[in-house]
Structures are given as C-alpha cells and as structure tokens.
A and B are shown apart, each in its own frame.
Chain A
Amino acid sequence: MDASRRDFIKASAMAAVSAVAGGAIGGGLLAAPREIEWVKSVCRFCGTGCGVMLGVSDRRLVSLRGDPEHPTTKGLVCAKALFLPKIVRSSDRLTHPLIRRDGELVRASWDEAMDLLADRFAEAIENHGPDSVAYYGSGQALSEESYLANRLFKGGIGTNNVEGNPRLCMASAVGGYVTTFGKDEPMGCYDDIEHARVFFLIGSNTAECHPVIFDQILARKQARRDVLVIVLDPRKSPVKTIADVHLDPVPGYDLAVMHAMAHVIISENRHDEEFIRRHVRFRAMQDGAAVDVSFDDYVRFLEQFTPEKAELISGVSADSIREAARLFALGPTTSFWTMGLNQRVTGVWANNLVHNLHLITGNIGKPGATPFSLTGQPNACGGVRDTGSLCHILPYGRVVGNADHRGEMEKLWGARPGAIKPEPGLDTIEMFRALGEDRIKAMLILTTNPGQSLPNLSPYRDAMGADRRGKPFIAVIDSYPTRTTELADLVLPAAMWTEKSGVFGMSERRYQYQPKISDPPGEARPDLDVLLDFAARLEKRGVVPRGYVSSRLRTADEIWDEMRLASRDTAYDFMGITRARLKAERGIRWPAPTEEHPGTARRFVKGEDPLLDRGPYADNSLSPGDVKFYAAPGGRAIVWLRPANPPAEPTDDEYPFVLSTGRVLEHWHTGTMTMKAEELRLAYPECFAEINPVDARRLGLRSGDRVRITSRRGEIVVRARVVDMPRAGMVFVPMHFEETDALVNRVTIDAYDPGSKQPEFKVCAVKLARA
C-alpha cells in the first residue's frame, strides 16, 4: 500500500474515532477512498444492535466502523464486530446442499435437497399428523424469516411445534414482563443510561457480553461522581470493577436478596406510596391460582426475608443488602440483567422481583428509571418474541390459547378457520425429548446449533443423530458446519448477514434494516428463499393449502407489510415502520403506529407512548408524564409475592460444587462464527474452568492442570484456571467450545422453569477431580 493511501486510511480512522468520541478531526466517512462505498447496517452479534457502516469495494466488505449517526450506540462497536468481515468470508462456509447417504453427507442439487425436505415432512404429516413435525429457529434469523416459518407451521401445516433458541436465553424475561406488565418487551430504552443515577446489574457480565452498553454506563459514572452501581452476581466478572456494592450470593439463591432489598426499602419508608396506590396491585399464588392480596400482605410476606434471614439463605451480608437497597431507592435506577436471572428454574420469579423493586420505589416510566432485560442475540426480540415464534404464542402479543387471537391470525394469514391449534406445542426441551422418543418424525432447524447448546446434551444429540430404525429426519439450514449439521440428514447452505436483507429487532424495541451488499458463496441461499420454496413444495404435496404462502408472499417486502398489518392495534403497533423508513432511518422503536410517528422511547408514558393517545389503549384522562400499564389487567402492574425456591439441583456431599456456564469477550454463543477468526480462536485456544483459589488449594489444583468436572449427567475435562472470580464453591466454564471433551452442556441440567420453560444453565451440582 502506498504512503498516501496509508495516510488516508489512518486519517479516516482518526476521523471515525473523533466522530464517535469527540474530537477535532473531521472528514470521516466522506473522506474515505473513492472506491469504497459506505452502507449503513447493523452488527450481527448481540442484542445491543450497534449501528455499523460497512465499507464495500468491488462487492467485497473491506471496512467496518461504528456508525456515529446511530442514535443510541453512537458509533461504538466491540472487538468482535471488527472481525465480521473476516468471519463472513471464512473458507469453511457451507456452499452446497448436502444429503446423508450411507452415513456420509454428500453434495446434492438444490432441487433434490428441497424435494427430499418436502417429501419427508409430507410423509410425516400424512402418516402421523401435523404434530409429528417441528421447527426449531433462532434469534439470529431475520424477522421475516421467523415470521414466515411460524406462519407456515402454525397456520399452514397446523402444528404449534414452533420453537427457537430464545427459549434457552430470554424466555424467563418474557415471562417476567408478561406476568408483571401484561405484555413482553422492555418499556425503557438505552437513552435511560444517560439519565440514571443508579445502575443495578444482575446476573449480567455487561463488560464482556454487552461492551457497548458497559461503556455507556462507564461514561455516565465518569461524568457524575454521584452515579452508583450495584452488582448482584456470584462471579466477580469485569463488571465488578465499577461496583459500589457487590452482592455475591450462592448461585441460585438471589431471590431472597431481592426480597430483602424490598424489605429494607419498605421498612425504612423508602418506597413510593403514591406510585403504588395509583399503578400497582399485589398478587400471590394460592392453591395453584393467582389471587389479589394487599400491600399489608406483601409487607407481612417480606418478614421472612429480613436482611439477616436473607444472609442465611444467600450468603450475602445483611449490611451489603441494606446498602444496596438504600442505593436502589435513591433513583432514578436502571436495572440490566441477562442469563444470570433468566437461565434458572425460578427465572420468571427472579424477573418479577426486579420489577417489584422498580414498582415499589416508582423507579419506572421516567428518564433513567427502568427494568431492562438485555438480549444476547441480534433478533431474539424482533424476530422470535415479537413475531410469536414460540410454541405458545402468536404474533404481537397474541397467544394460541385465545380464540380471538387465533381467529385474527387465521384471517390475516388466509388460513382455514380452526387451522391454528388452541393448545401450545412442545417447548424446546420437550420437543427434543419427543424427538428422542421418535414422536417427532421430521424437524427443521434454522440458524442455530442445538447439537452443542442444549442442556444435558448427550441424550438430545442421540435423539438427533443416533442411527436407529425410524430415526427422525433432521434438516439444518446454516452457514457453517456445526455440531448440529454433523447429525443432520440434510444440510442446506445459508446466506448470512451482508449476503441478505431484512430486519433485526434489538433489545430496546428498535427495528433496524440490514441491506444485502454481497453475494453468498457457492450455491448458498437466503433462509427466506428456502422457506418460500419449502412452503411451495408442501402446498404441491397437499399438506399445506394450495396458495397459502405462494399466492400471497413472494418477497421479504411483502412479508414485512403483512407483519405490520399483524401488529396494527396491538400493543406492538408498528404500522408506521415501513420498509422505506427502515432503509432511510437508523432504526425506529415501536410502537410507531403512523408513518409520521418518530418511534417511542418509553412505553406506558402519556406524551411518549402514542398508544395512550389513540387506539384501543387510549386514555385521554391522563396528563403528560403519567404512567399507565395499559397492557396489564386494570392498567396496573403487579408486584408478585414469589417464594424464594432453591435451584433444581442443590449441591450435596457427592456433588459439592455449583457449575455456571457463560461467555467470554472474544466469543459468542457456540463459537460457530467467532471461532472462524483465528485471532479470536487463539485468544482462547481451549476451554477452561475458573476455580476459586480456596477450592483449588483444597483440591490441590493449579492453573493449567486438567480437571474433570462431573455431574449426574456427564463429564468434561478442561484446563483449570485458578482465579478469584467465581465465588468459593462455584465453577465457571464458557459455553463456546465444541470439542467433545469440552462440551460443557454434557454436564448441565435440563430442568426448566415451569412457567417460561427455560432451562437452568446457571446452576447444577458437580464434583471436581484432577484428570
């Protein structure tokens, strides 16, 4: 590269940083080399939804930078994003359909592959009924893809066996929002970071898993000395470096801590009586049914969770609990949480208890005050939760158990009346159990890797792959070979990210458009094309009504328009988020019922939420700034009296340690993308187990030793990393590694929350031994 070009690119890098971080060097994107065209897009990784600018030259992605004009992420990206151009071009991309013959996956034509897919599904449906087939999707699929698959299976085939990997990560957050506020999704937004005085970070390694959010919190704390951070996490993740109070409960016992915080808040008269009187009601479960109780009942309930009693249950000192409660009540308080709360058998309840703290202190519905569940995938929210692509729900807040909701969707979809079943389909764990029992005869898996990510993995790998008479047919659509494609009977190569266009919906209800800028390798096709083709072939075989999909939907644009119609007059109303707006703007937060509406920062707040002005939720008796939880019965959010139940598998003499799984900065989920970048892979060339020094001394283990981690379900052997991060008695293992010895989900437990059906990845009992 010649000197002038080098200087130019360096000056351009300086300009990009200045645009984001504040500086005098201008020029930025305009100054880029002329052959580079800059296109706005969205990062492919987590649910933060960072805006990015992609530099394209000769239809190749050559540069990536944070988009300084993005309204919330403001040009920030994390290290993983820098590697995306390289990851997309990985040489092991799947490029041709593969069919398993004599035990080997061999190349096939698309026509042959799609006929096989349609034949096997049609055969199962005709011989065993619609519930003998299933779809398992992803929070990484585009919204249009998930919506179409959901539409095809529920309204066309007639089965609610529609699931996706958000069941493993976000279902308890959904359950928390729905049971407390009546509908899913956060009411606040990232803007709240700039207004919060207190941050409550619970079960969230924000620094490594959502680095851009963490930087914004850090900036807020740097800007104002009175900004305070409470961290509730049994592991001293990097987040602890900014904690003013760190609460480290025994894993699985934090519900008592949050109840005790509520106890302190009320007993010290730090609650907001007026807010409670106007906006809250109290409920408890009695004899299996939810009943209304009073504020006094709640106060009496909390007596079993004094800070001292909570200390005995959780191991967190009473003084720390008091300090955290007092800080929380100062407000405005923003809470962020992720899998530490959600991946638990008490996940929904834990979510409820965060909401309780916000509701009793009135820390909600005003700038800087909101309970906010962060998401791990780019489109778990917009793609799966909002489109209703789970076994019990339908698009935009509807449920399969409601006849009116089913009728609305059948009409919109052009399905026959009664096509959608009233009973929920099989949730993720039950779906894979059914696969193992050969009750599911054919399954389509799209953009996800259950062969590595399911808890208690071994029986489910057998369910998918073990050769046997009557073995179910497994088809996988993906961009890379994975631990799931190796089990499949049919593998279809998918376009990824910049090779297709569509919508991602990220954590703050912002829908963003991702344009196609390059062609996929080989014969890979966008998932949407594959689903449309699949639907047409099922129509031809008579197992889906003729024309159900093919006569109505041909393009992503047409699907998006139908999605907008499905949202009309619901609590998600985004009729105003047209394709043209998405292409022109940096995302829009729903609700946005008209094309003139700019999008909504805070739901449920008069003057901000347009649904309080018109439509079925309108209330003209309210004044600007008033809060109304219109999706909840009676317009009041619920403070729940939830028991502090223990985890499914407490430790005992035989299995005395708690295993928690999680992520590291450089890697993402099952590593199918980040392990493709050699630099990232070499950052963690092999799996490891973090072990507290106290435990390591007792076991005679040192860093680098190989340690066997055994549960009642399986074992792994990995290197020990002795470090004062996990609490004593706890072991932490990242989930990214695919080598059989390091497949940590062979050890984890598949017990799940009875409400959300989300498995308890964060707590199971194990024993350790030098290997």
Chain B
Amino acid sequence: MTVVGAYARIDPASHRSVRARLGAIEGIELFSLDDAGKVGLVIEARDLDDARARLLAIAGDVDGVLGVWPISVHLEGGDQTAPGEKNQENRTSLEA
C-alpha cells in the first residue's frame, strides 16, 4: 500500500464546487487548509502507479484545479519491490 500526502492549488472563487468534485474521486480523502486557494489530499492507493494515476486525474481532469503538489509518500511492504524485481518474478513464472 502507498499513502501520498499532497495539496491541490485551486481557484479560491470556486473553492466549494472544486472541493465537491475532488470529494467524488474514490480513494482520496480531503482536508482543509488555512489557505482558501489550497485543499489537502491524502491518497491511499495500491501502489505508486495507482497513486500517481489519481494525482494525474486530479491535476488534469478536475475543473478549477491549477496544479497538485505531493508532499509525502509512505511505502508499505510489497510496494517496495522494484520494477526489475517484478519483471524477474514475471519472467520466472512465465518460464515455469
């Protein structure tokens, strides 16, 4: 599992509607920040790939979001597996 903390910089004039749109995205928890131009996000994802896809979805698909800046990442267990290792595992199982 991967947990990413981030904030989205948003248009303060449409804070409420942007927040509603963000809140509708699965796997994302919103929290308030002091600045009306920002919304805090916690993304709980299967792995980094999944987390990144959600960040991209926020930055690219949600009207009123000017950008998303990640602040922290925590990797648990299996997500520490490096891609090459995954590939080697795949190759072994295919060969088997």
Interface residues of A (CB under 8 A from B): 1, 6, 9-10, 12-14, 16-18, 20-25, 55, 60, 62-66, 75-79, 81-83, 85-86, 89-92, 207, 211-212, 215, 218-219, 222, 676-683
Is B74 within 8 A of A25, CB to CB? no
Report how far A223 CA is from B1 CA in the complex, Å.
36
Is A82 within 8 A of B83, CB to CB? no
Is B74 within 8 A of A62, CB to CB? yes
B1-34 interface (Cβ within 8 A of A)? 1, 3-7, 9, 12, 29, 31-34
Q: Which of A23, A63, A76 contacts B74 (CB 8 A)?
A: A63
Instruction: Give chain B nearest CB distance to A181 CB in angstroms.
Output: 33
A residues less than 8 Å from B84 (CB atoms):
90-92, 676
Q: Which of A1, A10, A21, A65 contacts B42 (CB 8 A)?
A: A10
Instruction: Give chain A nearest CB distance to B9 CB in angstroms.
Output: 6
Instruction: Give chain A nearest CB distance to B11 CB in angstroms.
Output: 9
Most buried by A among B29, B35, B40: B40
Report how far A66 CA is from B85 CA in the complex, Å.
28
Q: Which of A21, A55, A79 contacts B55 (CB 8 A)?
A: A79
Instruction: Give chain B nearest CB distance to A135 CB in angstroms.
Output: 30
A residues less than 8 Å from B76 (CB atoms):
1, 9, 62
Is B73 within 8 A of A85, CB to CB? yes
For the side of the interface on B, what is the size category? 35 or more
B residues less than 8 Å from A81 (CB atoms):
70
Most buried by A among B48, B51, B71: B71
Is B9 within 8 A of A218, CB to CB? yes
Instruction: Give chain B nearest CB distance to A70 CB in angstroms.
Output: 12
Report how far A304 CA is from B93 CA in the complex, Å.
71
Instruction: Give chain B nearest CB distance to A2 CB in angstroms.
Output: 11
B residues less than 8 Å from A92 (CB atoms):
84
B residues less than 8 Å from A86 (CB atoms):
48, 75, 80, 82-83
| A-B pairs with lowest CB-CB distance, top 10 | A91-B84, A13-B5, A65-B72, A678-B83, A22-B34, A679-B49, A82-B73, A16-B72, A23-B33, A21-B7
- Beyond A13-B71, A75-B71, A86-B82, list 17 extra A-B contacts (CB 8 Å): A6-B1, A9-B74, A10-B3, A13-B42, A14-B40, A21-B33, A55-B74, A60-B80, A62-B75, A63-B74, A76-B71, A78-B70, A86-B75, A90-B82, A91-B83, A218-B67, A679-B52
Report how far A211 CA is from B84 CA in the complex, Å.
28
Interface residues of B (CB under 8 A from A): 1, 3-7, 9, 12, 29, 31-35, 37-38, 40-42, 44, 47-49, 51-52, 55, 66-67, 69-77, 80, 82-88
Q: Can you name 7 A-B residue pairings with CB atoms under 8 Å?
A: A14-B5, A21-B35, A77-B71, A78-B69, A86-B82, A212-B69, A679-B47
Instruction: Give chain A nearest CB distance to B19 CB in angstroms.
Output: 14
Report how far A660 CA is from B52 CA in the complex, Å.
28
Is A64 within 8 A of B73, CB to CB? yes
B residues less than 8 Å from A679 (CB atoms):
47-49, 52
Is A64 within 8 A of B72, CB to CB? yes
What secondary structure prevails in chain A residues at the interface with B?
A: helix
Most buried by B among A13, A85, A678, A682: A13
Instruction: Give chain A nearest CB distance to B27 CB in angstroms.
Output: 11
B residues less than 8 Å from A215 (CB atoms):
9, 67, 69
Q: Which of A13, A22, A60, A676 contacts B72 (CB 8 A)?
A: A13
Is A21 within 8 A of B1, CB to CB? no
Q: Which of A10, A16, A24, A678 contacts B34 (CB 8 A)?
A: A24
Most buried by A among B33, B41, B55: B33
Q: Which of B33, B47, B48, B83 contacts A18 (CB 8 A)?
A: B33
Is A65 within 8 A of B73, CB to CB? yes
Report how far A89 CA is from B35 CA in the complex, Å.
37
Is B49 within 8 A of A682, CB to CB? yes
Q: Which residue of B lies closest to A222 (CB)?
A: B37
Instruction: Give chain A nearest CB distance to B16 CB in angstroms.
Output: 18
Given A1-B77, A218-B9: A22 in contact with B33 (beta carbons within 8 A) = yes
Is B7 within 8 A of A20, CB to CB? yes
Is B71 within 8 A of A91, CB to CB? no
Is A63 within 8 A of B48, CB to CB? no
Is B44 within 8 A of A65, CB to CB? no
A residues less than 8 Å from B42 (CB atoms):
10, 13-14, 17
Is A10 within 8 A of B37, CB to CB? no
Q: Which residue of A lies closest to B36 (CB)?
A: A222
B residues less than 8 Å from A18 (CB atoms):
31, 33, 40
Instruction: Give chain B nearest CB distance to A611 CB in angstroms.
Output: 36
Instruction: Give chain A nearest CB distance to B58 CB in angstroms.
Output: 12
Report how far A628 CA is from B84 CA in the complex, Å.
55
Report how far A132 CA is from B37 CA in the complex, Å.
59
Most buried by A among B1, B41, B74, B80: B74
Instruction: Give chain B nearest CB distance to A10 CB in angstroms.
Output: 5
B residues less than 8 Å from A82 (CB atoms):
4, 48, 51, 70, 73
A residues less than 8 Å from B32 (CB atoms):
23-24
B residues less than 8 Å from A9 (CB atoms):
3, 74, 76
Given A22-B35, A90-B83: A17 in contact with B71 (beta carbons within 8 A) = yes
Instruction: Give chain B nearest CB distance to A243 CB in angstroms.
Output: 14
A residues less than 8 Å from B73 (CB atoms):
63-65, 82, 85
B residues less than 8 Å from A63 (CB atoms):
72-75
Q: Which residue of B lies closest to A60 (CB)?
A: B80
Report how far A549 CA is from B74 CA in the complex, Å.
42
Given A1-B77, A13-B5, A14-B42: A89 in contact with B71 (beta carbons within 8 A) = no
Instruction: Give chain A nearest CB distance to B52 CB in angstroms.
Output: 5
Most buried by A among B34, B41, B42, B44: B42
Report how far A221 CA is from B33 CA in the complex, Å.
19
Is B74 within 8 A of A20, CB to CB? no
Instruction: Give chain B nearest CB distance to A15 CB in angstroms.
Output: 8
A residues less than 8 Å from B51 (CB atoms):
82
Report how far A733 CA is from B4 CA in the complex, Å.
31
Is B75 within 8 A of A17, CB to CB? no
A residues less than 8 Å from B35 (CB atoms):
21-22
Q: Which of A85, A211, A222 contacts B69 (CB 8 A)?
A: A211
A residues less than 8 Å from B87 (CB atoms):
91
Q: Which residue of A lies closest to B31 (CB)?
A: A14
Is B77 within 8 A of A91, CB to CB? no
A residues less than 8 Å from B85 (CB atoms):
91
Instruction: Give chain B nearest CB distance to A553 CB in angstroms.
Output: 35
Given A79-B70, A86-B82, A91-B88: A13 in contact with B33 (beta carbons within 8 A) = no
Instruction: Give chain B nearest CB distance to A413 CB in angstroms.
Output: 41
Q: Which residue of B lies closest to A84 (CB)?
A: B73
Q: Which of B37, B41, B66, B74 contacts A17 (CB 8 A)?
A: B41
